[in-house]
Amino acid sequence: MHHFSHDGLSLSYVDEGPAGAPSVLMIHGFASNKSVNWINPGWVQTLTDAGYRAIALDNRGHGESDKPHDTAAYTPEKMADDAAALLSHLELEEAHVMGYSMGARISAFLALRNPDRVRSLIFGGLGLGMVEGVGDWDPIADALLADSLADVTHEQGRAFRYFADQTKSDRLALAACIQSSRTLLTPEQLDELKAPSLVAVGTKDDIAGSPDGLADLLPNASAFHIDRRDHMLAVGDASFKRRALAFLADQNA
């Protein structure tokens, strides 16, 4: 594990694979971390085995990175700037970028703010919800702040509280994050994302929204349905990995 500094925070990352290989920067989802989202499901090994340099950071508020409790610290723009700062720290002019769920939203903002540094985009676990929203997340913040899981009755809130407890997360930081990280993108902003894009969502995902709907709003995108997977299980799916590798190979051809 490595650390770098940005915006007054110490941020953790992993960097595996040949230094001169095409780079893939991975940005994890809410309440997750680089290990849960990318290392344990085999993404880092999958990418390095395929000849890529696999880079993944812990977003602020997550994993081994610093965890401010101020809601203003967690806008997608600020987290996108963290990702761009990691590319600069590693002296990389550009990278393929793959984000899952909240990480997909951060990836979109990264591409908007740094279009010349994003070679391609893989949006996992977030489809048209990037534009239309993904429901009411206030109960999730309430669940994270509850004294115990036993006090949480909201179904989705219980799921995220359980996940946060399992990953030993800082619940105050996550509650702050969920309140300010949900900025929606407009169709006009999506039209600015010229990089080749893949939108991959599980067919049982009731959070993400339609992958086809998002792909239709992007200038150069295709959709992939991850068969029989929900929001939590789609990230490690073997068919998703195969499709992502095929997409990346097309960009490097």
What domains can you pick out in the chain, each with its CATH number? 2-133+184-252 (3.40.50.1820)
The mean of the pLDDT values for the chain is 95
Banded pLDDT at 62 (limits 50, 70, 90)? very high
Residue whose C-alpha is closest to residue 129's, from 76, 206, 203, 197:
206
- Is the pLDDT confidence value at 253 over 80? no
Percent of the chain with pLDDT over 90: 88
The arithmetic mean of pLDDT across residues 84-112, rounded, is: 98
- Is the pLDDT confidence value at 248 over 80? yes
Task: Say how far apart CA 105 and CA 100 lie, in whole Å.
Answer: 8
The arithmetic mean of pLDDT across residues 163-172, rounded, is: 89
Task: Say how far apart CA 185 and CA 69 lie, in whole Å.
Answer: 25
pLDDT digits (tens, 9 = 90+) for 63-86: 999 999 999 999 999 999 999 999
**How many other C-beta atoms can be found within 10 angstroms of the C-beta atom of residue 133?**
12
3-state secondary structure 56-70: EECCCCCCCCCCCCC
CB 221 within 8 A of CB 197: yes
DSSP assignment of the chain equals -EEEEETTEEEEEEEES-TTSPEEEEE--TT--HIIIIITTTHHHHHHHTTPEEEEEPPTTSTTS-----GGGG-HHHHHHHHHHHHHHTT-S-EEEEEETHHHHHHHHHHHH-GGGEEEEEEES-STHHHH--S--HHHHHHHHSS-GGG---HHHHHHHHHHHHTT--HHHHHHHHHHS-PPPPHHHHHT--S-EEEEEETT-SSS--HHHHHHHSTTEEEEEETT--TTTGGG-HHHHHHHHHHHHHHH-
Q: Whole-model pTM?
A: 0.95
Give me the pLDDT at residue 168, please. 85
Q: What angle do CA 79, 83, 85 make, to 5 degrees?
A: 110
- Is the pLDDT confidence value at 135 over 80? no
Give me the pLDDT at residue 134, please. 83
Give me the pLDDT at residue 252, please. 80
For residue 199 the two structure tokens come to 């939108």
In Å, how far are 18, 21, 26, 136, 222 from 55, measured between CA atoms? 11, 11, 6, 32, 24
Give me the pLDDT at residue 150, please. 93
- Is the pLDDT confidence value at 173 over 90? yes
pLDDT digits (tens, 9 = 90+) for 26-36: 999 999 999 99
Percent of the chain with pLDDT over 70: 100
Residue whose C-alpha is closest to residue 62's, from 44, 43, 36:
36
